[in-house]
Amino acid sequence: MRNDKSHRKFHRAAVKTVFTLIAISLLASCGKRQVHNFSGIAIGTYYSVTYVGQEDISLPVAADSIIAVINREFSIFDSTSTVSRLNANATTVLTDDIIHLISLSNHISEETGGAFDITIGPLVNAMGFGKSTDFDTLSYQKQMDSLRHFIGYQKISVADGKLQKADSRIQLDFNAIAKGYAVDKIARMMKEKGYENFLVDIGGEVLAQGRKFKGQEWRVGVQIPTETQNGLIETNYIFELPLESGMNCVATSGNYRNYKEINGKRYSHIINPTTGYSEKSSLLSVSVIAKDCATADAFATAFMVLGIEKSMAILRNHNELAAHFIYYENGNFQYKQTSNFPKNIQ
């Protein structure tokens, strides 16, 4: 019972994480340099850009149009998006963004033993996390047994800018990487406009560039639930991204924001492609630091599938990544991180 309550509180806490951080960024910014911020709606969440320098009122329009293009390409909720049309076999023609993300996704699938897999689409739909919210737990096992035959990243390839599927029922789902990629694209736009110091945030996936003002780095953080004698308190694990190593992005994946509870059983929207089910483990969330936000986003999802042990084994061969895990064990929230994850400066 107590565990349940703590979990629920944590779910709420986790959603608030980034708002706190932005407030911190803005408060700390009253200095010699001009710091501006704009925000909007993006991919089922919000986006926020904080930047230093000359104010440019055309930036929100530029960011909105990047988000609009991403939606036109990747939304599984819009039946006319490129991915929906690819899934319905109405086209095979890919955009440069899709080609790039297929290639990056395949690489991450290989690195994670298939834990990350953009062909997960049919299972996402069958579990009611796609266009339809219906999920029949009783028939799922049967459905999954047949759907599994056309799941597998090796079953798709790109030739001459066109998608080749081993089976016409293959369906792509870029939801675990597109948000991070949108962050990277907005950051690229900011650089092209000449800005060197900015922070882009889409629903908690963050890219930081440069610094806020001299000697003051951008600060980001993970909100940490801690159980005390007085109940649950929330503390912030605040850190500076290791920009000198080029690792300027962080993405978090968790099973707390998006899940279904049916007959007391919890089904998360992150699915293990091998078993066809969400992993039932004590792992609550993973934050991954990487050199680009799409990579951080994808690895964070894969690590949720793999659990701490297997993820740590992968991370040992990837010092261009850093990770922070939050899990619940023995009646307590516990944390584990790679040695290169930045220290808490709170």
- Cα separation values, 212 from 12, 29, 116, 216, Å: 29, 7, 34, 6
Question: Does 87 interact with Mg ion (rule: CB under 5 A)?
Answer: no
Q: Where are the alpha helices (DSSP H) in the chain?
A: 2-27, 59-74, 82-87, 96-111, 121-126, 137-147, 178-192, 293-315
Residue indicated by tokens 């309550």: 5
116: partner contacted, choices ligand ADP, Mg ion, none (Cβ within 5-8 A by kind): ligand ADP
Left (φ > 0), alpha (ψ -120 to 50) or beta: where does 266 sit?
beta
Stretch of 39-47, 122-130, 185-193, 290-298 lying at the interface with Mg ion (CB under 5 A): 290-298
CB of 117 to ligand ADP, least distance (A): 5
Query: Rounded CA gap, 320 and 315, in Å?
Result: 9
CB of 252 to Mg ion, least distance (A): 8
199: partner contacted, choices ligand ADP, Mg ion, none (Cβ within 5-8 A by kind): none
Query: Rounded CA gap, 154 and 214, in Å?
Result: 48
Please identify, using beta-carbon distances, which residue of 35 and 298 lies nearer to ligand ADP. 298
Question: Does 297 interact with Mg ion (rule: CB under 5 A)?
Answer: yes
Count Cα atoms within 13 angstroms, Cβ side, for 245.
Answer: 15
Q: Which of 133, 65, 70, 64 is nearest to 100 (CA)?
A: 70
The answer to whether the CB of 163 falls within 8 A of the CB of 21 is no
Q: Counting beta carbons within 10 angstroms of the beta carbon of residue 163, is it exposed (0 to 12), middle (13 to 18) or buried (19 or more)?
A: buried
Q: How many residues does the structure list for the chain?
A: 346
Question: Does 223 interact with Mg ion (rule: CB under 5 A)?
Answer: no
Please identify, using beta-carbon distances, which residue of 258 and 334 lies nearer to ligand ADP. 258
Q: Exactly one of 301, 311, 337, 338 binds Mg ion (CB under 5 A); which one?
A: 301
183: partner contacted, choices Mg ion, ligand ADP, none (Cβ within 5-8 A by kind): none
The answer to whether the CB of 48 falls within 8 A of the CB of 37 is yes
What is residue 198's three-state secondary structure?
strand
Stretch of 229-237, 250-258, 269-277, 288-296 lying at the interface with Mg ion (CB under 5 A): 250-258
Please identify, using beta-carbon distances, which residue of 59 and 172 lies nearer to ligand ADP. 172
175: partner contacted, choices Mg ion, ligand ADP, none (Cβ within 5-8 A by kind): ligand ADP
CA 322 to chain centre: 15
111: partner contacted, choices Mg ion, ligand ADP, none (Cβ within 5-8 A by kind): none
Please identify, using beta-carbon distances, which residue of 253 and 287 lies nearer to ligand ADP. 253
Binding site for ligand ADP (CB under 6 A): 115-118, 120, 124, 129, 173, 175-176, 179, 253, 257-258, 269-271, 273, 297, 301, 305
Residue indicated by tokens 């990047």: 66
Question: Does 184 interact with Mg ion (rule: CB under 5 A)?
Answer: no
Please identify, using beta-carbon distances, which residue of 204 and 342 lies nearer to ligand ADP. 204
Question: Does 337 interact with Mg ion (rule: CB under 5 A)?
Answer: no
Please identify, using beta-carbon distances, which residue of 197 and 248 lies nearer to Mg ion. 248
| Residues near 68 by beta carbon (within 8 Å), at least 6 away in sequence | none
CB of 151 to ligand ADP, least distance (A): 10
Q: Exactly one of 49, 176, 208, 305 binds Mg ion (CB under 5 A); which one?
A: 176
Please identify, using beta-carbon distances, which residue of 35 and 102 lies nearer to ligand ADP. 102
Residue indicated by tokens 């003051």: 216
Give the footprint of Mg ion on this chain (CB under 5 A).
Answer: 176, 253, 297, 300-301
